[in-house]
């Protein structure tokens, strides 16, 4: 990033939510510096965030563009652990590694690391992730802090490093299987379907009335 892009990046909340239309906060900052994006595309930053960007870019303040979302309280991801099938899709989607768990085992959210980006919700195949209001009555930078933004950025960078390392490792280990992507997709679907079946069976078992005592 050039000097202006770096200053813009420092002024963003670093939720990495992609709601601005760019893959991360750095991408939005660079687009702003290049004059290719508006200053009103970051809902997590809210009106105060727009004002910050207006001062940095010399542009006139604007209301948030509703096509990118609206300002509101910060949300927290919550996993209904009884329904979690351990598919790990949310682990890949979370930009700050705020979700922990292993394959076929229950996952949970580390609240201190969650930015409320909402990216984990649409990838969950069993809809066991919901959002709860974390900061009632406070939104934008009133619901966030510079220290939290800096911590989120550090975790995002670590997440990106881990992803690159995993991709490199997988490319070496799975090179012979590249010619058969459909087989891999079929295997993944079968794993998810089997896990779903186990989750349904467990739920039915929980809902079954206890046997009458003799």
At residue 108, the 3 state secondary structure works out as strand
Which range, of 23-37, 70-84, 93-107, 164-178, averages the lowest pLDDT? 164-178
Model pLDDT, residue 42:
98
Q: What is the pLDDT, as a whole number, of residue 170?
A: 73
**pLDDT value, residue 202:** 55
Q: What is the pLDDT of residue 164?
A: 85
Task: Tell me which of 176 and 204 has the higher pLDDT.
Answer: 204
Q: Which residue has the higher pLDDT, 61 or 81?
A: 61
At 125, is the pLDDT very low, low, confident or very high (cuts 50, 70, 90)?
Answer: very high
Residue 17, CA atoms < 13 Å, CB-side half-sphere: 23
Q: What is the pLDDT of residue 201?
A: 61
- The whole-number average pLDDT for the span 123-131 is 96
d(CA 45, CA 41): 9
Q: Are 154 and 87 in contact (CB under 8 A)?
A: no
Q: What is the pLDDT at residue 176?
A: 44
Q: Which residues contact 63 (CB under 8 A, 6 or more apart)?
A: 40, 47, 50
Q: What is the mean pLDDT of residues 109-120?
A: 96
Residue pLDDT, tens place only, 147-201: 999 999 999 999 999 888 877 777 776 544 444 445 545 554 555 555 555 555 6
- Could you read off the pLDDT of 3-56 as tens digits, one per residue? 999 999 999 999 999 999 999 999 999 999 999 999 999 999 999 999 999 999
Q: Two tokens at 31? A: 């687009």
pLDDT for the residue numbered 190: 58
Per DSSP, the residues of 141-199 read GGG--HHHHHHHHHHHHHHHHHHHHHHHHHHHHSGGGGG-HHHHHHHHHHHHHHHHHHH
The pTM assigned to this predicted structure is 0.77
């Amino acid at each position: 990033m050039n000097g202006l892009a770096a200053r813009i990046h420092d002024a963003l909340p670093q939720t990495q939510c992609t709601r601005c239309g760019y893959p991360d906060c750095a991408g939005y900052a660079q687009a702003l510096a290049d004059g290719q994006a508006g200053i009103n595309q970051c809902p997590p930053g809210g009106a105060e965030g727009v004002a910050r960007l207006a001062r940095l870019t010399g542009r006139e303040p604007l209301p948030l563009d509703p096509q990118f979302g609206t300002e509101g309280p910060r949300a927290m991801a919550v996993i209904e652990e009884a329904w979690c099938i351990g598919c790990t899709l949310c682990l890949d989607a979370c930009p700050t590694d705020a979700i922990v768990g292993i394959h076929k085992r229950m996952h949970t959210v580390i609240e201190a690391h969650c930015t409320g980006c909402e990216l984990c919700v649409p990838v969950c195949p069993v809809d066991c992730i919901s959002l709860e209001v974390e900061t009632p009555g406070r939104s934008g930078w009133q619901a966030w802090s510079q220290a939290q933004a800096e911590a989120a950025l550090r975790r995002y960078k670590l997440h990106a490093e881990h992803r690159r390392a995993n991709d490199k490792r997988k490319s070496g280990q799975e090179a012979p299987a590249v010619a058969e992507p459909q087989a891999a997709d079929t295997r993944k679907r079968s794993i998810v379907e089997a896990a779903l079946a186990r989750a349904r069976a467990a739920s039915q078992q929980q809902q079954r009335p206890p046997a009458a005592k003799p």
